[in-house]
Structure 1
Amino acid sequence: MGHEIQYLLETKRLVWLVALVFAVLMVLQYFEFPYGDVVSSLFSASKAQIVNVNGSYQLEASTQRPQIFEDITHSYALNASYDSNPTLEENVDGAFSPMAAVVLAPTKSPDIELPNTVNATLTDSTIVLEHETSKPDASKLFQDFKESQEKTIHSDDKASANEAHSMRDVVTISDMHDMLAQNRASSRSMKPRWSSLADQELLDAKLQIENAPINENDPALNPSLYVNISRFKRSYELMEKTLKVYIYNEGEKPIFHQPTAVLKGIYASEGWFMKHMKESQHFVTKNPKEAHLFYIPFSSRMLEVKLYVPDSHSHKNLEEYMKNFLDLIIGKYKFWNRTDGSDHFFVACHDWAPAITEKYMNSCIRAMCNSDIKKEGFELGKDVALPETLISSAKNPLRQFGGLPVSQRSNLAFFAGRMHGNLRQILLQHWQNKDPDMKIFGKLPKSKHNNVYIEYMKSSKYCICAKGYEVNSPRVVEAIFYECVPVIISDNFVPPFFEVLNWESFAVFVKEKDIPNLKNILLSISDSKYLVMQKRVKQVQQHFLWHVKPVKYDIFHMILHSIWYNKVFRINPR
């Protein structure tokens, strides 16, 4: 009996001891767990946030909601440091996959306390994130992620990574107009270190353009084709009356001063412009003190032909070559230093032009065919979207010009070309041999003067202008040349002469993601609207034609006008 009493007393003591220990733990854990009570925190720890393969969060036993920043989903409970070498893998819809999110695993030094971080573990296709004790600054988190990502993308990987981004972040034509207006209002070139008469003439021109009287009665110009016909006409008139361009004599052929090397093929715009500019007695001045603009007459195509090392995957030596030229003219003249080059310009059609000139020549007005507003740093209001033109005959750039009447255009849509980039493969996957109205092909068999390809363009209502490796394509100008309504499938592409032309009045813009619905989009355009657009294509042709001798409103004058126009609206007087 005594043993039983003693056993009960010891058991009672043990129960009290356990209860006391549990109470102490409860008090301690109150300050350790993020939810204020032990029970909910314990359950929350066992049911952590789960990130699925599709990139979305499953929130269990938590009231927190995810926040979205540019299609990247972050939870408020994230405050992680990022791995220095993230893997950029994406879903078909452009959202980051968990393989990209593996960068959420923080690094921790034994000597440094890192509070409020997230421990991440990867199991198969799922990342389990343990909770943290405070809510981070989500906007700073996203900014840190972008900065980390940009630093870790090497040059060889940049193209593929940026191509993936473009599928998510599409800048529409309407967005571009808004961006241009904002840039016009806020952006100015560097204030000149000393004043000149040319600056005052540009200021006077700007005032006259901004206050241009309504003028819509020119039979050569359809007002519907322009953003503001009155401003365009006044600006063009002032360019003809005022503009003076100084051309540097320095630089060695054939990279400099040899336009005849690039009068044919897809880079012909830079060759033909150089030819007409150097021959111009109207715009060119020998006196740099009276110049409004300074032309750097190099060919980006010849730069690549002469200097690029095959299979090197690097154009650093091309950049250095241009830097050496700049050092030469900066040391010899004072004109670059007056404005840090903001009154200098070049015309370049090679895909590499943005990258080659980004480091040392970005302050220039850059007229480039590769006018990607997201990937290549193309700046609306400063840079100029250069038309990419495929010229087959240097003696007759207008050979095979024109197209068939609307009544003889039996094909709804046409495309043919090499499989440059992923987009064209997607186009063919959805439409090649799928519909008799959609003439969608890969590379066509060779024919004399490319006649088969040209006949398709001349006999189709809509010509598909699908991007290749970069956003630009000669098909845009080809479609206009052959009087076919261009259908531009190239996200973030700034079309030529964007400052003055109303592209949506004569062209169709289709987002890359909408390729599966391409035929329905085209069929939704009424016959009457198509007829109006096709007529406008014929009217806008004059702005996209190279002539052996330049004529008013042709492509040479339009390129020069865009350069002039951007300079006028960026003038920053001393």
Structure 2
Amino acid sequence: MDPGSQFICASHLKTRRSFWVLGITFGIFVAIQFSALPNSSTISSLFSAGKFTLFGRWDFEAKNQSDSRTAGNPKNTYLVKDSASSSTFEDSRNSKLDNSSPSVPEIFDSSASNKQIEEFSSSIAPHASSGSVPQQLTVAFPPAVSSPITTSQINMDLVSPAMSVQNHEKHIMKTDEKGSLMQRNVSLLRNNSSAGHGKSSLPTSAVYSISAMKKLLLQSQSLPRAVIVKWNSTADQELLYAKSQIQDAPVHRNSTELYAPLYRNVSMFKRSYELMDKVLKVYIYKEGEKPIFHESILEGIYASEGWFLKLMESNKQYATDDPAKAHLFYLPFSSRLLQLTLYVRHSHSRNNLIEYMKRYVGMLGQKYPFWNRTNGEDHFLAACHDWAPAETRGPMLSCLRALCNADINVGFEIGKDVALPTVYVRSAQNPLKDIGGKPPSQRPILAFFAGYMHGNVRPLLLDCWGKDPDMRIFGRMPHVKGNKNYIEHMKSSKYCICAKGYAVHSPRVVESIFYECVPVIISDNYVPPFFEVLNWESFAVFVLEKDIPKLKDILLSISEEKYLEMQKRVKEVQKHFLWHADPVKYDMFHMILHSVWYNRVFRIQSP
């Protein structure tokens, strides 16, 4: 390198160091001020009056309350930012509904009080994902509670590159008995374990390993929660009884139905499923206009929400017309149809989608007492579109949300929310077409991936392994009728790579199981389906995105004996991922419903 270039590099390095020092100093100052002053008055004075951004998470607009209510606008402007969307969107934190956008269809009487809806929404702590700090820690670390699983234990399983001081602070908001918001900071101590793992062009962010996720699940099930229920019901007592029965489940031996290694605790799962089958009653709201409500898309990548909605509304065993008997309340909407109906192309804003769902919930709260009894904690939804975490912000965050986009970093809460399987259904008439695969002896390909080069992970995967003769790593494969070429590769591979695109979820996870290929999941912070009961590490391989350069070594380190056992387990777990026009025991419909039931049971508190 010539002297001139050396001088320029040295100057740039010196400048960057100066910015880092200034940034870290400012971050420490803000953190100290925030923790020292509960009302954050000093911090707010650092920003311009009227509107400011706090750590990139929320924008607050200083408006006169009576003026905002008169205008019928929400008091807070919600941040609409979802890195997992299937299209590129600008940060719309400052955007409002455009007058040129089509009006939100009326779903309830327009004379309903905007003031009541606003007060209802503002009574719930607004949650939003910053895109860098996991949201489920709200459950994992309630204040003043001791637990055998400590923060440091969970942090030992965190993998994080160098992070700014700002990203080390977690601001958690809870609601006390008077409805006021309590704030506290949880310092996330993370291990810098990125050194020595090869070059990577991936962005830096906090990463939870699968073992850290398991610990968070245990935390959520064991720690008490400050939830105020306005009155107790018979259904609550039945849930408490079910909880005790599941916790004290008799030991279950292997049977033809359930293969024990697939489950975290096969005895608890069996007992829980039996009780669900015997006890569970679901009330389905009739309100909501088509196509957003009560309508199903049964083909394509978002088909899971459509199949579940269709089968739930036609179910005779679990559905009840008497809400007093209900253990769960179902919000029968389609996140895909919500997007198709209301999103204004090129508007770069989903505010009207979020507002539409908030108004729907506000209407339910005005018309019925059931939502208000538990603040929506016994309500659930199933939504598969990438935008579903954004569409269900505001009051719906208290629901049990079954989401395909099960990303910790965009607000998925382990132990409350349910990871919905993403299934690409090619034929609504025959969703099980082509299922099955070749025996291990007829799988000459070590690993296979093909798909669009969305996001950062797939291009790196292709760059590292696209030319390796043992690995079949491609971009988009040429279209063949029935996708035969793609399916044949899956059926002929030992391992099928399930790499994230824009969002963490991918239909390849379920496709791997369909075609009896061991899934290799490369998607940081993705919570796999039915995480509450399935022991995913027994039949799938999890590779951190930063370890893509070591992928082949990781796969070759798995012994033939272990591979054969994993492949056998993939075949065993397959029955949990199948759609049937008439649901059968342990299939996809029942497993989704069971995960919702299971999380509700373990979140119920004794009076």
Shorter chain as normaliser: what TM range? 0.7 to 0.9
Deviation digits for residues 6-45 of structure 1, max 9, x if unmatched?
xxxxxxxxxxxxxxxxxxxxxxxxxxxxxxxxxxxxxxxx
1:264 pairs with one of 278, 292, 299:
299
C-alpha distance 151-192 of structure 1, shift in aligned 2 (>3 A): closer
Q: 1:496 to 1:315 in 2, by over 3 A?
A: same
Name the residue aligned to 2:555: 522
Instruction: Find the counterpart in structure 1 of residue 443 from structure 2.
Output: 409
Alignment match, 1:150? 57
Q: Which residue is 2:494 aligned to? A: 461
Counterpart position of 1:568? 601
Which residue identity lines up with residue 416 of structure 2 in the other structure? K
Contact residue 410 and residue 459 of structure 1 kept, 8 A: yes
Residue 257 of structure 2 corresponds to 220
Greater gyration radius? 1
* Residue 320 (structure 1) aligns with: 355
Cα distance in 2 for residues equivalent to 1:337 and 1:265: 36
Q: How does 1:30-429 map to 2 (within 5 A)?
A: 53=13, 103=23, 148-151=55-58, 155=80, 162=131, 167-188=204-225, 190-259=227-296, 262-373=297-408, 375-429=409-463
Q: Does structure 2 conserve the Cα–Cα contact (< 8 Å) formed by 1:189 and 1:342?
A: no
3-state secondary structure, aligned to 1:367: strand
Map of 1:426-445 to 2, 5 A cutoff?
Answer: 426-432=460-466, 434-445=467-478
**CA distance in 1: counterparts of 2:445 and 2:373, whole angstroms:** 55
Q: Which residue of 2 aligns with 1:67?
A: none
Q: For the residues of structure 2 that align with 1:190 and 1:504, how far apart are their CA atoms?
A: 33
- The two structures, once aligned, show a CA RMSD in angstroms of 2.9
Could you tell me how far 1:185 is from its partner in structure 2? 1.9
Q: Tell me the residue number matched to 2:75.
A: none
Structure 2 vs 1, CA of residues 520 and 51 (structure 1 numbering), >3 Å: closer, same or farther? farther
Aligned counterpart, 2:512: 479
TM-score norm. by structure 2 comes to 0.71
1:497 maps to what in 2?
Answer: 530
| Distance (Å, rounded) in 2 between the aligned partners of 1:51 and 1:188 | 53
SS of residue matched to 2:401: strand
Q: Give the letter for the 2:242 counterpart.
A: A
Q: Matched residues in 1 for 2:383 and 2:457: separation?
A: 24
In 2, Cα distance between equivalents of 1:52 and 1:242: 67
1:104 is displaced (CA, Å) by 5.7
SS at match of 1:535: helix
What is the letter of the counterpart of residue 554 of structure 1?
D
Alignment counterpart, residue 583 of structure 2, candidates 550, 568, 572: 550
TM-score (norm 1): 0.75
How far apart in 1 are the matches of 2:14 and 2:559? 39
CA distance in 1, matches of 2:444, 2:236: 54
Tell me: CA distance 1:137–1:481, structure 2 relative to 1, closer, same or farther (3 Å): same
Does the 8 A contact of 1:189 with 1:571 survive in 2?
no
Q: Can you list the C-alpha shifts for 1:337-359, whole angstroms capped at 9, x where unaligned?
A: 11010000000001111111121
Give the Cα–Cα distance (whole angstroms) in 1 for the partners of residues 595 and 551 of structure 2.
Answer: 32
- 8 A contact 2:83–2:502 mirrored in 1: no
Quote how far apart the aligned CAs of 1:323 are. Answer: 1.4
Post-superposition Cα deviations, 1:154-177, rounded to whole Å, max 9, x if no partner, equal 745866983798744211111011
- Tell me how far apart the structure 1 counterparts of residues 83 and 481 of structure 2 sit (CA, whole Å): 38
**Structure 2: stretches of 5+ with no match in the other structure:** 1-9, 47-52, 60-77, 89-129, 133-160, 164-202
212-221 or 274-283: which moved more? 212-221
CA displacement at 1:150 relative to structure 2: 3.4
Secondary structure of residue in 2 paired with 1:361: helix
Q: Distance in 2 between matches of 1:249 and 1:484?
A: 41
In 1, Cα distance between equivalents of 2:384 and 2:545:
23
3-state SS of the aligned residue for 2:553? Answer: helix
Equivalent-residue separation in structure 2 for 1:527 and 1:321 (angstroms): 53
Match of 2:93 in 1: none
**Contact 1:410/1:461 (CA < 8 Å) preserved in 2?**
yes
Change (3 A) 1:515 1:492: same
The structural deviation recorded for 1:377 is 1.2
2-side partners of 1:445 and 1:283: how far apart?
Answer: 44
Identity among equivalent pairs (%): 58
Q: Matches of 2:11 and 2:240 in 1, distance apart?
A: 57
Cα-to-partner distance string for 1:161-216 (whole Å, 9 max, x where unaligned) = 83798744211111011111112222537232011100000000000000001012
CA contact (8 A) 2:282 2:327 kept: yes
- SS of the residue corresponding to residue 208 of structure 2 reads coil
What residue ranges of structure 1 are gaps of 5+ in the alignment? 1-49, 58-97, 108-115, 119-135
CA distance in 1, matches of 2:294, 2:599: 24
Distance (whole Å) between structure 2 residues aligned to residue 471 and residue 451 of structure 1: 25
Secondary structure at the counterpart of residue 194 of structure 1? coil
8 A contact 1:491–1:512 mirrored in 2: yes
- Rounded Cα–Cα distance in structure 1 between residues aligned with 2:348 and 2:35: 34
How far the C-alpha of 1:371 sits from its partner, in A, is 0.7
Kindly tell me: are residues 117 and 198 of structure 1, through their superposed partners in 2, closer, same or farther at Cα, counting changes over 3 Å?
Answer: closer
Tell me the residue number matched to 2:169: none
2:483 corresponds, among 442, 445, 450, to: 450
Residues 559 and 515 (structure 1 numbering): CA distance in 2 closer, same or farther, change over 3 Å? same
Q: Number of aligned pairs?
A: 455
* SS of the residue 1:461 aligns to: strand
Cα distance change of structure 1 residues 101 and 275 upon mapping to structure 2, 3 Å threshold: farther
Q: Which has the higher contact order (CA 8 A, sep 6+)?
A: 2
Question: Relative to 1, partners in 2 of residues 1:516 and 1:195: Cα closer, same or farther, differing over 3 Å?
Answer: same
Structure 1: how far apart are the matches of 2:81 and 2:416?
A: 28
Of 157-166 and 529-538, deviating more is 157-166
Q: What's the CA shift string for 1:457-516, capped at 9, x where partnerless?
A: 010000000001111111000000100000000011100000100000000000000101
SS at match of 1:360: helix
CA displacement, residues 89-130 of structure 1 (integer Å, 9 cap, x when unaligned): xxxxxxxxx7666546869xxxxxxxx989xxxxxxxxxxxx
Query: What is the alpha-carbon distance in structure 2 between the residues aligned to residue 214 and residue 404 of structure 1?
Result: 35
Match of 1:66 in 2: none
Partner residue in 1 for 2:124: none
